[in-house]
Amino acid sequence: MHEMSLAESVLQLIEDAAHKDKFNKVTTVWLEIGQLSGVEPEAMAFCFDAVTRDSVAAGARLEIVSLPGVGWCMACAKSVAMNEIFGECPDCGSYQMQVTGGTEMRVKELEVE
């Protein structure tokens, strides 16, 4: 389950920000997860709760913002929605697709005390 290591990395970012910006408690974390990132939101929420115990983010609410998959179809030369990385273009059926969005995961915002 790679979500555990991702949750640990998110916690490290939060702790670094707490040290830099001098806050003691995180109440909410907004995490953007792309539809094509390979990260399961439910697994990420479970792992986040596990790794944040006894930390500055203990008990913090995790708000997951889902980002859509987007790709560029080389055959019909337009940007289209994608549901899977190796999927076909929903407009022309071509598999000559280049993913342009929805693979990312990032901490968007923190609510702190």
SS (H, E, C) 11-44: HHHHHHHHHHHCCCCEEEEEEEEECCCCCCHHHH
Dump pLDDT digits (tens) for 31-67: 999 999 999 999 999 999 999 999 999 999 999 999 9
pLDDT computed for residue 25 by the predictor:
97
Q: What is the pTM of this model?
A: 0.88
Residue 51 phi/psi, 5-degree rounding, is: -80, -20
pLDDT digits (tens, 9 = 90+) for 58-103: 999 999 999 999 999 999 999 999 999 999 999 999 999 999 999 9
Walk me through the domains of the chain, giving residue ranges and CATH numbers: 2-68+101-112 (3.30.2320.50)
